[in-house]
Structure 1
Amino acid sequence: MTATEASRNFSDLLDAIEHGETVTITRGNHPVAEIGPARRRTGADLRAALAGIPEPDDRFADDIAAAVALLESQHGDPWADA
């Protein structure tokens, strides 16, 4: 599908994608993008993405604490409205 067709028929494009199609968008007969259904993200996806990454060290925890303290000193409790 050309970029112009995609623009003019965006709702139809989204319908096709919602039904599982992956659509290639072209410009000047060259593919520039593939648009497909969004994949639901799960906790298992996050665990897989983080597998093999070392746990944060004490310095990381200290850096986070310092950043939170800085925010609190400038703007009050950053988590109060959460």
Structure 2
Amino acid sequence: MRNWTATEASRRFSELLDAIEHGETITITRGNRAIAEIGPARRRTGADLRAALADVPPPDDRFEADIDAARHLLTADEGDPWADA
């Protein structure tokens, strides 16, 4: 891990991205205080999504009806729904 000042990171942004692309994590500092850590992006998988949604309850029956109603609004040939507003 390396430290770069905010000014250095700004002036050498392309080099910063190259270092990150090669696996480095860079700490950006301003006034001798760490303000950000930038590192390689982590590849996301279906397992990550499942883990993120593990504690989210499944949609209820009303959700399906709401989606159908929204889809109908997008596909209906009724003209502008806001014309009378």
TM-score range, shorter-chain basis?
A: 0.7 to 0.9
Note if 1:22 corresponds to 2:25.
Answer: yes
* Higher relative contact order structure (alpha carbons within 8 Å, sequence separation ≥ 6): 2
Partner of 1:79: none
Higher Cα Rg, which structure: 2
Matches for 1:35-74 after TM superposition, within 5 Å: 35-73=38-76
Structure with more strand by fraction: 2
1:46 counterpart SS class: helix
Gaps of 5+ in 2: 78-85
TM-score, normalised relative to structure 1? 0.81
Structure with more helix by fraction: 1
Shift of 1:52: 2.3
Residue deviations 1:8-67, cap 9 Å, x none? Answer: 111111111111111111122221111000000111111111112211111111111111
Runs of 4+ more than 6 Å apart:
none
2:55 counterpart SS class: coil
| Distance in 1 separating the partners of 2:76 and 2:31 | 54
RMSD of aligned C-alpha atoms? 1.3
Shift of 1:73: 2.5
